[in-house]
Structures are given as structure tokens and as C-alpha cells.
Amino acid sequence: MDELPARASLDQLQTYVATLEIERGFSHQSSLEKCLLLGEEIGELFKAVRKQSGMPIEAGTGALPVADELADILIYLCAIANRHGISLEEALRVKEERNRARVWQAAGTGT
């Protein structure tokens, strides 16, 4: 498999993930399976953040670095988008266009 290009676009990341899934034998997993695995990774991210923040975690349970868990989450997001034929880059652009038209209120301001 080719290496991921430096400063890869979201579309390039999605293509890379599609290739690695084939090579590693994960391409048969459904979108539902990927969503459940993503949920597990989010839990692992929370544990890593707790550990990095100095909060106690269960004895005997490891926590990978936050960066590792974020990378795993990105891989699963790309895999789910690929299964639905969604370009994350285009989806982000469309969503941000809608968000620009919204009126935002800072949390906790009470206004």
C-alpha cells in the first residue's frame, strides 16, 4: 500500500482508508459494525483524555495516547463515509454553508 501523502485532503484520507481496509481484511464490515466500533473508540478516547488530565482510570486498564485514539476515530469516520458514498470534505463544506446562516449563542451566556 502506498503511504499517506503529507497534508492529505479528506478525500485522500478516505481513499487511503478504503485501501487499508481491503489490505487488512476489514472491507466486509457493515456500516453498523463500523458505527459500533466507532463508539468503542470514542470511549477509549475519553479514557485517554481522563488519563492525560490526571483523572484516575481503572487499575490494569491501559489507555493509548489521545492522538492514537483520535486517529482511530478518523479511520472509522472515513470508513463509515465510504460505505455511504459520502465525501467528508464535501459534507463539511455543505454543513458549514448552512452553519454560516445560523445565529450562534455561546453556551452558558443565558442570552
pLDDT 10s digits, 26-65: 999 999 999 999 999 999 999 999 988 988 888 777 778 9
Q: Are 73 and 45 in contact (CB under 8 A)?
A: yes
pLDDT digits (tens, 9 = 90+) for 62-109: 778 999 999 999 999 999 999 999 999 999 999 999 999 999 888 766
- So what CATH class is 10-92? mainly alpha
pTM of this prediction?
0.86
Residue where the block lists cell 489521545: 66
- Amino acid identity of 51? K
